[in-house]
Amino acid sequence: MATCPECDAEVEVDEFDVDKGDLISCPDCGSNLEVTSIAPVELESVDEDDDDDDEDDEEEDDAELEEDDDADDDDTTEDLD
């Protein structure tokens, strides 16, 4: 057994079925948890903001690509005149 760091609920985790770094979710509050220790099993809350940062970076990259495409279109139009 391990304790959820978010809601203090008991989370049933078999130390033989998990590895350090595995991700599980709390059955009570649904928080994403990472196994940080096996003997005894210890859990830490996973910071979900990291995922949002990755998505923001992808959106910024897409916006830059669209700007580059627009610039290319403008160059083509000027050549046709």
Whether residue 68 is predicted with pLDDT greater than 60 in this model: the reply is no
**Per-residue model confidence as pLDDT tens digits over 25-67:** 999 999 999 999 998 999 999 986 555 555 555 566 565 656 6
**Who's near 9: CB < 8 A, 6+ residues apart?**
3, 26, 27, 28, 29
Contact call for residues 24 and 35 (beta carbons, < 8 A): yes
Q: Are 37 and 31 in contact (CB under 8 A)?
A: no
Instruction: Evaluate if residue 70 carries a pLDDT over 90.
Output: no
Residue 26 burial class via C-beta count within 10 angstroms: exposed 0-12, middle 13-18, buried 19 and up: buried
**pLDDT recorded at residue 74:** 53
Residue 45: the pLDDT is: 95
